[in-house]
Structure formats: structure tokens, C-alpha cells
Amino acid sequence: MASTALSSTISLIPVHTSIFPKSASIPFPTRARGGRFAVSCTSTTATAAPPKVLELGDAIAGLTLEEARGLVDHLQDRLGVSPAAFAPAAVVAMPGAGAGGAAAAEAPAEKTEFDVVIEEVPSSARIATIKVVRALTSLALKEAKDLIEGLPKKLKEGVSKDEAEDAKKQLEEVGAKVTIA
């Protein structure tokens, strides 16, 4: 590989140790075919990775973003995994997730955004409900009427708890069945 030849060439270049520590490597990009840069890097970990892993790492590092996205999709299909499968591992591996992080993981964060969903409107309360919907949303008459047909539907999305409870109270006063999600 070009990166292997490059690594051996870089070691011949004199480096001022006052600027770079002895274990550091200098990234030295060269043009690879297709106009991309090939970059070789030296691992600073105590254990050396097998040559196969290093080759795969160099090959992946040389991919464009579009090619990398295609690789991710292919591996997800082939291995039968989804990004959600890695979410718990990402939370555990987050830096700074010590004792305080464990307590935060046990207690879910308090919900700050709520949706107001109209579940049902009795036929006797349709006109009053349309008036309340128009007042809460500033919709036109036709849009408010369309909203209360074919229920359940979201009236408001991502509102504060106080606003959601106020809307629920107003709608229930006129006879509509409302839930806050």
C-alpha cells in the first residue's frame, strides 16, 4: 500500500523532538488515485493492532463520506443491526459518565414538551369544540372543522406542560375527550 511506503519514508525525515514527542507521528497526505488523500497514522496505544485491522482502518479512512454511508448501510443489512442497538453502549461509553452518570441513566429525564391530542368529540359539542380549537390555534373555520373530523389528531405539538394542560382543560369544558402525550 502507498501508506506503508509513506510510513517508512516519514521515519527518515528528521523531526525536532522539542516540537514533537518521540512517539508522535507526522500526518503526511499524498494524492491517491481518484483525487483523494491517503494518510498514514501511527497508533499511540500500548498494544499494537493486527496488520489486518490496520489495513481495514486505512481503507475505511480513505473512503468518501458517501462511500462510508454506503458501507454503514451494507454492514447494518448484512449483520442485521440498527443504530438503535448501539444506543445503550454509547450511553455507557460516554466520557464523564461516572457515578453521576449511572444515577442519571436510572432516572429518565423529565419530559418538557407535550402533544395535545383530541381523541373524541361528541356530535353535540362539535361547534363549541371548533370555537375552542380556533381560539387555541388561530386556524380558519374550515381547517378547525377538518381537524376535529377523523379523530384522534394532534392539536398542538411540542408545547409546555402548562400550555398543554390549559388546552386540555378548555377542550374538556366543551365536551371533547383529550389526552396529553
Q: How far is CA 113 from CA 98, 135, 141, 154, in A?
A: 28, 21, 27, 13
Alpha helices, H only, 37-160 = 51-61, 65-79, 87-93, 99-106, 126-137, 141-147
pLDDT given at position 30: 53
88 pLDDT higher than 50: yes
Strands, sheet with 114-120, edge to edge from the N-terminal-most edge strand: 153-159, 114-120, 177-180
Q: Where are the domains of the chain?
A: 2-81, 114-180
Mean pLDDT score of the chain: 73
Looking at domain 114-180, its CATH class is alpha beta
Q: Give per-residue pLDDT as tens, 90-114.
A: 555 555 555 555 555 555 677 888 9
| H or E element, residue 173 | helix 161-173
Q: Please tell me the pTM assigned to this model.
A: 0.41
For residue 27, the model assigns a pLDDT of 53
Q: At what angle do helices 126-137 and 161-173 cross, to 10 degrees?
A: 160
**pLDDT at residue number 6:** 44
What pLDDT is attached to residue 63? 84
Q: Which residue would you say has higher pLDDT here, 147 or 89? A: 147
- The least confident of 19-23, 58-62, 84-88 is 19-23
3-state DSSP assignment of residue 19:
coil
- Given a contact cutoff of 8 angstroms between Cβ atoms, the answer to whether 61 and 39 are in contact is yes
pLDDT of residue 48: 74
> pLDDT value at position 4?
45
Find, among 65, 167, 83, the residue nearest to 117 by Cα.
167
Please name the residues in contact with 181: beta carbons below 8 A apart, sequence gap of 6 or more: 114, 115, 117
**Measured in Å, how far apart are the chain's first and last C-alpha atoms?**
56
- pLDDT (0 to 100) of residue 70: 86
14-53, pLDDT tens digit by residue?
444 444 444 445 555 555 555 555 555 555 554 678 888 8
The residue with greater pLDDT, 73 or 141, is 141
